[in-house]
């Protein structure tokens, strides 16, 4: 039965594409037939079971690879540029937000959901971003391959929040930079950029270690504290 479920989910994921391009009409079927909601419900109940909660009579643990296949179907559902698909799945953001870093492939799904959709990006408040950053910082103290993979996924997610359709999102950029770097001067060199054609020699009292030139012929130097 597990083998059949896994095969069906993989077939469903493949069905979302034709010649490696998303087919919006096929994605729409997942929404119209409530497959999206059923897959999120499967993930939710399975996470409750793994947390030791009672998700309801008769529910048994679903193998991890089946749950990851369900995540991949949901990710395939939002690949492309269908705002209707994205906004339909966005109602489940609290679940994705809570389980970022869980033993599922939720990170890449969540990243695809927010990619290039300013309305979804704007819906994430500072507390949501802070929660992700805090999880990322906790991971940085672990030294294993799984944590390294998650760190990359989290950083990719934060990067997607910073730019929508090649347009910067300053509010998110500033929030993420502040949450990542504030009070972390022991890990980060705070720098100031001096255009060399305007200020060929930055004031020495504002420099820490020796400055260096970038390819754009600008001077970057650590600030003195």
Q: What is the pLDDT of residues 144-156, one digit of tens each?
A: 777 888 999 999 9
Is-contact 176 132, C-beta < 8 A? no
Confidence of residue 88 (pLDDT cuts 50, 70, 90): very high
The reported pTM is: 0.77
**How many percent of the chain have pLDDT more than 90?**
60
Helix and strand numbers, DSSP H then E, in the chain: 11, 7
**What pLDDT is attached to residue 174?**
95
Domain extent, residue 137, equals: 127-188
Q: Is the domain of 70 the same as that of 80?
A: yes
**Mean pLDDT of the region 5-25:** 96
Q: How many CB atoms lie within 10 A of CB 214?
A: 10
Of 123, 139, 163, the residue that ends a domain is 123
Of 37-51, 134-148, 154-168, 170-184, give the lowest mean pLDDT range.
134-148
CA distance 6 to 39: 13
Q: Is the domain of 132 the same as that of 114?
A: no
Q: Which two tokens stand for residue 57?
A: 């009579």
Confidence of residue 139 (pLDDT cuts 50, 70, 90): confident
Bridge partner list, 193? 220
Q: Is the domain of 71 the same as that of 115?
A: yes
């Amino acid at each position: 039965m597990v083998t059949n479920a896994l095969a069906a989910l993989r077939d469903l994921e493949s069905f979302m594409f034709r010649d490696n391009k998303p087919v919006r009409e096929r994605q729409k079927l997942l929404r119209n037939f409530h497959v999206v909601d059923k897959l999120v419900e499967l993930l939710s109940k399975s996470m409750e079971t793994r947390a030791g909660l009672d998700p309801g009579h008769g529910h048994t643990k679903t193998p991890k690879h089946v749950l990851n296949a369900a995540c991949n179907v949901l990710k395939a559902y939002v690949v492309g540029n269908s705002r209707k698909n994205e906004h339909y799945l966005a109602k489940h953001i609290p679940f994705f937000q809570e389980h970022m870093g869980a033993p599922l492939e939720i990170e890449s799904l969540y990243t695809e959901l927010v990619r290039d959709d300013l309305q979804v990006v704007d819906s994430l408040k500072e507390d949501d971003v802070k929660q992700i950053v805090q999880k990322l910082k906790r991971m940085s103290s672990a030294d294993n391959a799984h944590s390294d993979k998650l760190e990359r996924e989290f950083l990719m997610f934060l990067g997607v929040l910073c730019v929508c359709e090649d347009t910067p999102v300053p509010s998110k950029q500033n929030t993420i930079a502040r949450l990542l770097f504030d009070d972390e001067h022991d890990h980060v060199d705070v720098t100031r950029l001096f255009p060399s054609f305007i200020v060929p020699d930055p004031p020495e009292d504002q420099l820490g270690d020796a400055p260096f030139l970038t390819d754009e012929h600008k001077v970057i130097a650590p600030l003195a504290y």
